[in-house]
């Protein structure tokens, strides 16, 4: 790995976490072409991930859409959340809004994989991403499971590619972390490019480690780190039906991460950095994106701070200006006002890349040249201060480009 996985200035890489070719012990992966995306194509679209260690501990998070895809319903309802040993994931079909037949197809896939791997179906998660409203070809997938199982190998690359849809950037990582109790490895495979909202994203993310975690540790750390990563990104403000994040800890390194230990603190920092960088990779890979941005909002009320951050991050006007490299801060002001109706006159400051453009709700004199140069870069930081203090939040978002429209106007239904 020539370039570091950690490329954003908005993620601090913990000191003892490094890029590494070593993979977490205990896991195998496969990715094959099954014809879900397109029966005539050889594109990878079916992936399998399995832990060979009986005591593997897992934790999982899902989106909260009112329209949950069948694989989310099946994994949430039929799996032991802390005992997931395998994941079957497909791209090309979300198996969402497919009703009872969709549930049946997801179960069929789950059971076929359990049989092939000698596991209980409760240990096998299913995940799907792709077009909504088309029944998953579960029979075709079930028939391909033996080939899929036969293709299992240590290298996760095929699996990582099989879960991609419109993704362009790689979103997988393998890292080594030195803990006081010993070294452990982490790997992750992630997908996501459109239908990405702060309330999660159309994304799948699978994280493996050979550290030994207790159930409550896996649960706690995944919960906290998902809130600080996938819960804070917006490509288009559109909540998906299929979002799934699964952490699996095989314990095969022999290094145990005990609750409230220095190990736990360090492991949590590493997981946090990993998920934040993956989330930023999703934003940077936002369909058609040229630039990404961070909006950081401070103020006296949690709810107002959150509403302002989302209004700015989801504003097509702010996003189009970001794409154009246009320092149109008036649109940020517009989004702030829209987020807090009925509260005029609002007092707020706006700074873009450290250049204060508005103070107390009104235009502030500033160096237009410095500002123009700042917004032409690949990452742009917006700072917004509302009245009061004690509450703050951040969101990461992509721009709105011609290609976003092109991809979403032409992406076959």
Among 111, 183, 324, 356, binds its own copies (CB under 8 A): 324
Strand partners, 295: 382, 395
Residues contacting residue 400 through CB under 8 Å, at least 6 positions apart: 236, 288, 316, 319, 320, 322, 323
> Pick from 299, 378, 295, 288: which is nearest to 329 by CA?
295
> Where does this chain touch its own copies (CB under 8 A) — which range of 35-43, 190-198, 203-211, 259-267?
190-198
HSE (CB half, 13 Å, CA atoms) of 123? 20
What does the block give as tokens for 392? 């703050």
Q: How far is the CB of 299 from its own copies (least distance, A)?
A: 12
Which residues within the stretch 131-160 sit at the binding site for its own copies (CB under 8 A)? 131-135
> Where does this chain touch its own copies (CB under 8 A) — which range of 10-18, 79-87, 147-155, 315-323?
315-323
Q: How far is the CB of 272 from its own copies (least distance, A)?
A: 24
409 is a contact residue toward its own copies (CB under 8 A)? yes
Size of the site for its own copies (CB under 8 A): 75
What does the block give as tokens for 33? 């072409």
Q: How far is the CB of 219 from its own copies (least distance, A)?
A: 19
Phi, psi of 22 (to 5 degrees): -70, 140
99 is a contact residue toward its own copies (CB under 8 A)? yes
Residues contacting residue 235 through CB under 8 Å, at least 6 positions apart: 193, 194, 195, 196, 197, 201, 282, 283, 286, 287, 289, 397, 398, 404
What does the block give as tokens for 90? 């497909």
Which of residues 75 and 315 has its CB atom nearest to its own copies in the complex? 315
Which of residues 54 and 402 has its CB atom nearest to its own copies in the complex? 402
Catalytic residue among 56, 75, 98, 202: 202
Distance CA 83, CA 218 (A): 11
Q: How far is the CB of 393 from its own copies (least distance, A)?
A: 18
Among 357, 374, 380, 384, binds its own copies (CB under 8 A): 357
118 is a contact residue toward its own copies (CB under 8 A)? no
Angle between helices 138-150 and 99-117 (to 10 degrees): 20
Distance CA 19, CA 25 (A): 16
333 is a contact residue toward its own copies (CB under 8 A)? yes
Q: How far is the CB of 399 from its own copies (least distance, A)?
A: 8
What does the block give as tokens for 265? 């603190």
Please state the separation of Cα 145 from the chain's center in Å. 26
Which of residues 8 and 90 has its CB atom nearest to its own copies in the complex? 90
> Where does this chain touch its own copies (CB under 8 A) — which range of 171-179, 183-191, 251-259, 329-337?
329-337
323 is a contact residue toward its own copies (CB under 8 A)? yes
Which residues within the stretch 243-302 sit at the binding site for its own copies (CB under 8 A)? none
Confirm if 282 and 196 have CB atoms less than 8 A apart.
yes
Helix, strand, or coil here: 180?
Answer: coil
Q: How far is the CB of 88 from its own copies (least distance, A)?
A: 21
Among 73, 145, 163, 247, binds its own copies (CB under 8 A): 73
180 is a contact residue toward its own copies (CB under 8 A)? no
Among 64, 139, 153, 155, binds its own copies (CB under 8 A): 64
- 202 included as an active-site residue: yes
Looking up tokens 């994989």, which residue turns up?
113
Among 343, 354, 376, 390, binds its own copies (CB under 8 A): 343
Confirm if 208 and 218 have CB atoms less than 8 A apart.
no
Most distant CA pair in the chain, distance: 68
356 is a contact residue toward its own copies (CB under 8 A)? no
Among 15, 40, 260, 410, binds its own copies (CB under 8 A): 410
Residues labelled as active-site residues:
202
């Amino acid at each position: 790995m020539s370039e570091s996985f950690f490329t954003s200035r908005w993620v601090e890489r913990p000191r003892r976490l490094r890029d590494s070719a070593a993979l977490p012990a205990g896991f195998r992966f496969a990715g094959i072409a099954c014809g879900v995306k397109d029966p005539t194509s050889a594109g990878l679209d079916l992936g399998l991930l399995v832990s060979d260690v009986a005591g593997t501990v897992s934790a999982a998070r899902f989106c909260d859409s009112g329209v949950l895809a069948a694989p989310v319903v099946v994994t949430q309802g039929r799996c032991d959340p802390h005992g997931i040993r395998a994941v079957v994931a497909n791209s090309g079909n979300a198996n969402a809004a497919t009703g009872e037949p969709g549930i049946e197809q997801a179960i069929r896939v789950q059971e076929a994989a359990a049989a092939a791997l000698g596991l209980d179906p409760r240990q096998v998660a299913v995940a799907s991403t792709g077009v909504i409203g088309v029944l998953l070809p579960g029979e075709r997938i079930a028939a391909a499971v033996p080939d899929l199982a036969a293709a299992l190998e240590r290298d996760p690359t095929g699996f990582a590619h099989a879960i991609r849809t419109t993704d362009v950037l790689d979103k997988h990582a393998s890292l080594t972390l030195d803990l006081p109790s010993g070294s452990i490895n982490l790997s992750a495979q992630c997908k996501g490019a459109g239908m990405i909202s702060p309330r999660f994203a159309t994304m799948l993310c699978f994280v493996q480690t050979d550290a030994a975690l207790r159930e409550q540790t896996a649960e706690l750390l995944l919960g906290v780190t998902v809130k600080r990563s996938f819960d804070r990104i917006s490509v288009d403000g559109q909540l998906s039906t299929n979002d799934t994040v699964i952490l699996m800890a095989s314990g095969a390194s022999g290094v145990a991460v005990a609750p409230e230990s220095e190990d736990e603190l360090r492991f949590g920092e590493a997981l946090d950095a990993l998920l934040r960088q993956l989330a930023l990779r999703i934003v940077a890979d936002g369909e058609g994106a040229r630039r990404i941005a961070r909006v950081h909002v401070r103020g006296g009320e949690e709810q107002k701070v959150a509403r302002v951050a989302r209004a700015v991050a989801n504003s097509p006007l702010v996003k189009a200006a970001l794409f154009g490299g246009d320092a149109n801060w008036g649109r940020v002001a517009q989004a702030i006002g829209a987020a807090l109706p009925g509260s005029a006159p609002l007092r707020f400051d706006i700074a873009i890349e450290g250049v204060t453009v508005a103070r107390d709700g009104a235009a502030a004199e500033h160096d237009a040249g410095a500002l123009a140069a700042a917004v032409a870069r690949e990452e742009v930081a917006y700072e917004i201060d509302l009245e009061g203090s004690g509450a703050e939040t951040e969101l990461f978002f992509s721009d709105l480009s011609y290609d976003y429209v092109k991809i979403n106007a032409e992406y076959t239904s």
